[in-house]
Amino acid sequence: MRRLLLAGVAAASMACGDGTHAAGESARASARGTLLSAVRARGTLKCGISQAAGFATPDDAGRWRGFDVDFCRALAVALWNDPDKVIFTPFTQQQRFSGLQSGEVDVLVNGTSMTSSRALRMGLRFGPIYLYDGQGFLVAKTLNASTPAMLDGAAVCVQPGTTTELTLADYARRNGIKFRPVVIEDLRSLVGAVSSGRCDVITQDGAGLATTRTMLPHPRDFVILPERFSKEPIAPVVRAGDDEWLAFVNWVFWSTMQAEEFGITQQNLAAHASSTDPAIRRFLGAEPGVTDGLGLDPQWTAHIIARLGNYGEIYERNLGASTALALPRGMNAPWNAGGLLYSPPFR
């Protein structure tokens, strides 16, 4: 009898709540995809970046270039086949999240690490990891330090508004090392502090250290220690509450990785366009039903490759051996070449 009564109450509650439940589902459904529609209607993508050599810097003509910049442009190419339909907004590390949450930008592509606190407490949503990195140290060669243990008592320059401070403190506690943190927000001021001797060491993600070293008056006087003492998975960031926009960002980033896995480049794209391989044909939009789920041009993946290249081409152009940063691929090679980059299948 008790079960029958409870079942009756539950049924009555469901009947009374049907309208509210349906309204809630309708509201959530209508909310999904609003940003993608708004960006399309606006005709430009607003992308948040952080200025850094190799990642985002303006050239002599004022045009933004770099690794992060190219991924922002890939989003615009997927939407309009036009890499210039992007408004770039440079943020400091402290400004970036408020800029995203306020709607000043549609997406952050600026070296942000994916962490639980940002995803769970701040309500951010992360796209694919597009750069695997880890925190390390940049030291003057005059210190004769080959390991972090030899930096006990050193003054360490660190930027606020990042996970870097916490990671440095955790590392020191874990290893019984004492550092003297010198907190400096502006990167150029931080570089000046090291150059003047106010700091002995800079700690940042490995890619950040390579960038910072290029800004020093005498880069060859400094060395990046090989040890990494944190995991820093770098991913694009969007606001919570829009599944369609997140899906769009996800698949654009993955498309560059899949193109490299297939061996499709800017140079050989035309040859692959006539491929008989069904997987490649579906990926390039020659056969329908795979890449058109967001209402994009069926050949949006091909447009990205034609305009910007695959992931490897984007990496080498901005960060590779021929650049001032000269960062080896390492973990950022495709999974089938010994790295960690892995795109879900386009099928």
pLDDT of residue 8: 42
Going by pLDDT thresholds of 50, 70 and 90, the confidence category of residue 33 is: low
User: What are the tokens at 66?
Assistant: 């770099």
Residues 6 or more apart whose Cβ sits within 8 Å of residue 200: 139, 140, 143, 151, 154, 155, 156, 194
Q: What is the mean pLDDT of the chain?
A: 88
CA distance 201 to 198: 9
The length of the chain, given as a count of residues: 347
pLDDT of residue 13: 38
Predicted confidence (pLDDT) per residue in 279-310, tens digit: 999 999 998 777 778 889 999 999 999 999 99
Beta bridge partners of 101: none
Give mean pLDDT, residues 62-68: 97
Predicted confidence (pLDDT) per residue in 2-21, tens digit: 343 333 433 433 333 344 33
CA distance 347 to 344: 9
pLDDT of residue 259: 98
Q: Is 177 exposed, middle or buried (0-12, 13-18, 19+ CB in 10 A)?
A: middle
Give mean pLDDT, residues 156-165: 84
pLDDT of residue 23: 37
Predicted confidence (pLDDT) per residue in 202-225, tens digit: 999 999 899 999 999 989 899 999
Which of 67-81, 98-112, 167-181 is predicted least confidently?
167-181
pLDDT of residue 165: 87
CA distance 109 to 64: 13
Going by pLDDT thresholds of 50, 70 and 90, the confidence category of residue 22 is: very low
